[in-house]
């Protein structure tokens, strides 16, 4: 039997890597187990960029966590010397009563966040790459921008290792069970015991967390990179913001400036317009009709963007019925197991603060952060989420 650890962390993607860092930083003896290699592209923490924003249209309750996440991202960049965030500003675009605009404005006002409201004419003047309809407006947030997911995961793993965490890659958990005053975890390689278990399963939540009463839909999502028609200069971060753009039918797209050089283009994707899948059956092939649908949609709002298609990549969203996270002690094992799932679509920007919360819960059983919204009991009787169009 391997030596006993204070905490075993299952999954070392965005949330798990952050948990391993925060736990080991507090002196805990940590074992991390990951199904794939470090900083892999088989889940949800890859793709070169993720949006971050504070005027949060999903719910104002997230804003305090975002403010703390911004502080922790700064700490992470300083501690590792890695590029973590590029905060070049961002716009939430749509009709004034759209979820994207009205929700962002609600959060900005409730938390007194710096922002500007722009009409269509002012959007075009400030950001010539964008061509909104006359009835569309935007909330502009100077502190919005993008995060580097691979760098973030690598940085958390780097710090966790430096702080003494033992990280095992290509060693997935087979099962776990209560054991004495803690847990025992089995892999194909060995069995390990610990006082606490933290499970960050990502898209594997439906299989690994069947007993917490949370229906979770796994969706295949596609990210696209296009070379702009007139070159990348107008799409550089100093000229082109990150954006979430909702059309009159409620379809949202999101996108980024060109951040990786002249030949790598700008990234764009539909937001929550995926198809149901599983980690084992996901179709990684991106077809011509999908590329055309993305290009056709973007031609109506950013005409110069879909110039030349460069590449595409798939990832997976794990989505709860109300699209809010699950962060809590395990309902059936509240003394020894902490769970974190259902983040996809808008979770990566919270990675460092979720790691801090998971360390709190595992080591003390509670946290000062506001996480009441994320209790699994709210979903115990909910049906499985359907696709949103």
- 166-213 residue pLDDT tens: 999 999 999 999 998 899 999 999 999 999 999 999 999 998 888 888
> Which residue has 């391997």 as its token pair?
2
Entry field: residues in the chain: 389
Do 222 and 314 fall within a single domain? yes
Tell me if 170 sits within 8 A of 148, measured CB to CB. Answer: no
Digit-coded pLDDT (tens) for 123-164: 999 999 999 999 999 999 999 999 999 999 999 999 999 999
Query: Do residue 113 and residue 239 come from a single domain?
Result: yes
Looking at the domain assignment, is residue 50 inside a domain? no
Reported pTM = 0.94
Residues 271 and 221 occupy one common structural domain: yes
- % pLDDT > 70, the chain: 97
In a domain, 80, yes or no: no
Q: Which residues are annotated as a binding site?
A: 6-36
Whether 247 contacts 358, CB under 8 Å: no
The average pLDDT across 272-294 equals: 94
Q: How far apart are CA 250 and CA 274, in angstroms?
A: 15
Work out how many domains the chain is built from and give that number.
2
Confidence band (pLDDT; 50, 70, 90) for 3? low
The enclosing domain of 160 has a CATH number of 3.50.50.60
Instruction: Judge if 162 and 179 occupy the same domain.
Output: yes
Q: Degrees (nearest 5) of the Cα angle 28, 349, 241?
A: 150
The boundaries of the domain holding residue 237 are 88-147+217-319
Which residues are part of a known binding site for FAD?
6-36
Rounded to 10°, the helix 14-25/351-364 angle is 50
Domain boundary among 272, 289, 319: 319
């Amino acid at each position: 039997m391997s030596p006993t650890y204070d905490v075993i962390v299952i999954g070392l993607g965005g949330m798990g890597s952050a948990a391993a860092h925060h736990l080991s930083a507090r002196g805990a003896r940590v074992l991390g187990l990951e199904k794939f290699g470090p900083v892999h592209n088989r889940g949800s923490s890859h793709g070169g960029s993720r949006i971050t924003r504070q005027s949060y249209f999903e719910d104002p309750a997230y804003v305090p966590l975002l403010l703390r996440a911004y502080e922790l991202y700064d700490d992470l960049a300083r501690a590792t010397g890695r590029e973590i965030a590029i905060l070049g500003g961002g716009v939430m675009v749509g009709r004034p009563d759209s979820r994207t605009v009205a929700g962002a404005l609600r959060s900005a006002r409730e938390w007194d966040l710096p922002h500007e409201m722009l009409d269509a004419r002012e959007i075009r003047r400030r950001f010539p790459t964008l061509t909104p309809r006359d009835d569309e407006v935007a909330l502009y947030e100077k502190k919005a921008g993008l995060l580097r997911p691979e760098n973030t995961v690598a940085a958390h793993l780097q710090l966790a290792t430096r702080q003494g965490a033992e990280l095992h890659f290509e060693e997935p958990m087979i099962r776990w069970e209560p054991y004495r005053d803690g847990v025992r975890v089995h892999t194909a390689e060995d069995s390990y015991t610990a006082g606490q278990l933290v499970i960050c399963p990502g898209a594997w939540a439906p299989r690994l967390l069947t007993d917490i009463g949370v229906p979770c839909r796994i969706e295949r999502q596609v990210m696209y990179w296009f070379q702009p028609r007139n070159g990348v200069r107008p799409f550089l971060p100093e000229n082109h913001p990150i954006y979430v753009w909702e059309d009159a039918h409620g379809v949202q797209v999101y996108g980024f400036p060109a951040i990786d050089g002249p030949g790598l283009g700008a990234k764009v994707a539909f937001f929550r317009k995926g198809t149901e899948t599983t980690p084992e059956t996901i179709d990684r092939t991106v077809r011509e009709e999908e590329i055309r649908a993305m290009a056709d949609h973007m031609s109506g709002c950013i005409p110069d963007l879909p110039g030349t298609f460069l590449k595409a990549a798939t990832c997976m969203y794990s989505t709860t019925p109300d699209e809010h996270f699950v962060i809590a002690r395990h309902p059936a094992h509240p003394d020894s197991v902490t769970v974190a799932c259902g983040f996809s679509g808008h979770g990566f920007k919270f990675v460092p603060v979720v790691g801090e919360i998971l360390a709190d819960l595992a080591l003390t059983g509670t946290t000062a952060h506001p996480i009441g919204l994320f209790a699994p009991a709210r979903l115990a009787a909910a049906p499985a989420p359907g696709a949103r169009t």
